[in-house]
Chains A and B, each alone.
Chain A
Amino acid sequence: MKYFPLIWATLWRRKTRTILTLLSIVVAFLLFGVLETVDYAFAHPGAGGAGADKLITTNKYSITLSLPFSYTQQIRTVPGVAAVTWISWFGAYYQESKNFVFALPIDTESYFQLHQDEFIVSDADMHAFETTRTGALVNTALMQKFGWKVGGKVPLHSTIWTQKNGALDWTFDIVGTFSVKDKTQQGAQSSTLLFHYEMFDEGRSFGKGNVGWFEERVSDPLQSAAIGSRIDSLFANSSNETKTQPAKDFALAFIKQLGDIGFIIRAILGAVFFTLLFLTGNTMMQSVRERIPELAVLKTLGFSNPQVLGLVLSESLLLCLLAAVAGLALSYTVLPIVKEAGLQGLELSAAALAPGIGVAVLLSLIVGLPPALRAMRLNIVDGLAGKR
């Protein structure tokens, strides 16, 4: 600690350069924090206890392939299955493709039985929904986002489903709104619009009698894996084999269709840190080059070669750690924004930020070692004469 004032003062010898270097590292670690947390969330889908009693049954080979509606009855017979409902991916947007709407055709009775106590819907709104064939229940956040009103009609464009007349546009009557009880799910449900499966199945020009996936609630979450296996065994060797998995795994698998998220994240971070190595490394080299006579004076005063090496490395470590902590702290503060921006299904965890400190230490060693070795090997007489 006694060397800290010296290291600190040296770090700020060229304020502008230090600030600019710090900022570049801060931005890199901000990016690292956000991307690493997203990666962590993908790699640890089991985090959190919510939804542990839910299973999802999809086509074994792809979630884009449908399953026969008739499976419903067979799944209901599986011991441990308390409720079953069925859903299809509607793939909708409002007016422009950027206005994504998470529109789900649902069977009202079974859906709300399965998701009992999860939604807040007034009796009047629920009644209106149940009695209106073209009715839609819309999340309050989505209502606000597009300025929709109850009683209004809303056209949604499906990217998949054509109506019998060939049109991709479907019109719904907004009959009520809903919100979610679990505040942590608010973001995940913020784009949801629920409408009747019956209307959807009758209106579509293809795929009748098929569903996208089944959702089950099990009576004992600890038996989820066994129940899932039992469901899948029912349809083994059929033309539509199934894959049953916990609801969270399904959500993540859905997002992973975009590509190998981990690889993409690592590639971006790799490029960022590769550039950072050159930038910071060059700064450190330049900083030591400018201080050759000063380093020679330290040696003259009796600082040993290892001590001079340690001073330069400590400076590098301090620079990288300061910036890393600031960048990671910033990333933690922006995580809720990232979540809101489109990663609602993911649980973002601060635990994912811990490796950032390790990366900062590694970075400081890589960029600090060449100038530190140079300082260590510096000949005093040459250094005092200003020779590099």
Chain B
Amino acid sequence: MSDVIVSLRHVAKRYVRGKQSVEVLHDLSLDIAKGEFVALMGPSGSGKTTLLNLIGGLDTPTSGEINVAGQRLDRLKAGALSRWRANHVGFVFQFYNLMPMLSAQRNVELPLLLTKLSSGQRKTNALAALTLVGIADRAKHKPNELSGGQAQRVAIARALVADPTLLVCDEPTGDLDRKSADDVLRLLQELNRDYGKSIIMVTHDPKAAEFAGRQLHMDKGALLESVTT
């Protein structure tokens, strides 16, 4: 069990919108091993992003157990969950979600504001992360001065800078052209292979999913199949 980084048992998630209650995940159980690169696939509304949010500690389940990086997330309160996220998960979003008024370097430094690192150390670490993703030369540029691929690399650097156990990526190539998408996917693959980062990636794109070591297919809130590539 020590090799398992994500373990879900009988997880259900129900949303209440007005008078309507919708169950988007039903009795879902799943294990992901440490160092795995998993692609979550499925049609829109299948519950991929909800599952990703639960694994990343952004949301809590209606029922069931979620154990990630040795922590029962379903039992954590908001404050503890925030601290846990800061220490264990890096997030990459489809639209990069960078702070438009901050330079690439300052964006990458953001997670480090929650640590006790000095200003100098924060800067050094941010530049190291930007170097790792191959975009150190754009450190002083603001997001609107970067291409989509460059912005996503900055977002990946931000996700990596605090050295999290797990990278959670929600459609990381959904806004990129093929070449940039492949570059980003190769980078994720490299981070998984060379740095041992566990990665869970939601994608619609079968080509993107091929970069992962395992593909999980979902539909209507349930896991359909698991394919090792």
Contact = CB atoms under 8 A, between A and B. Distances in A.
A300 B85 contact: yes
B106 A301 contact: no
A305 B85 contact: no
Interface stretch (A62-70, A178-186, A291-299, A342-350): A291-299
Interface residues on A, range: 20 to 34
B83 interface: yes
A384 B50 CA distance: 12
Given A304-B83, A380-B58, A297 B99 contact: yes
B101 A9 contact: yes
A98 interface: no
Contact of B97 (A5, A9, A293, A304): A293
Contact of B82 (A10, A13, A297, A303): A303
Contact of A305 (B78, B111, B119, B122): B78
Nearest to B50: A381
Interface in A274-307: 293-294, 297-306
A6 B78 contact: no
A384 B111 CA distance: 17
Interface string B104-116: 0010001101100
A306 B78 CA distance: 11
B18 interface: no
Nearest to B117: A2
Interface residues of B, number: 26
Nearest to A15: B101
Contacts of B128: none
Contacts of A306: 79
Given A301-B86, A302-B86, A10 B78 contact: no
Contact of A302 (B83, B99, B100, B119): B83
A6 B151 CA distance: 19
Identify whether the interface residues of A are mostly helix, strand, loop, or mixed.
helix
Contacts of A6: 99, 102, 106, 110, 113
Given A300-B85, A301-B85, A301-B110, A384 B79 contact: no
Interface in A235-264: none
Most chain A CB inside 10 Å of its own CB: which residue of B56, B93, B101, B119: B101
A2 B119 contact: yes
Contact of B101 (A2, A3, A13, A381): A13
Nearest to B111: A301
B69 to A, nearest CB: 14
A388 B59 CA distance: 17
A151 to B, nearest CB: 70
A381 to B, nearest CB: 5
Contact of B53 (A5, A302, A305, A381): A381
Contacts of A299: 82
Interface string B193-216: 000000000000000000000000
A384 B93 contact: yes
B23 to A, nearest CB: 16
A297 to B, nearest CB: 5
Interface string A4-39: 011001101100000000000000000000000000
Contact of B114 (A5, A10, A303): A303
Contacts of B122: 2
**What are the 8 closest A-B residue pairs judged by CB atoms, nearest first?**
A302-B86, A304-B82, A9-B101, A302-B85, A297-B97, A13-B101, A380-B58, A301-B111
7 contacts: A9-B99, A9-B106, A13-B101, A297-B97, A298-B110, A303-B86, A305-B79
Given A6-B110, A293-B97, A305-B82, 18 more contacts: A5-B106, A6-B102, A6-B113, A9-B106, A12-B101, A294-B99, A297-B99, A300-B56, A301-B85, A301-B114, A302-B111, A303-B82, A303-B86, A304-B82, A304-B83, A380-B53, A381-B53, A381-B59
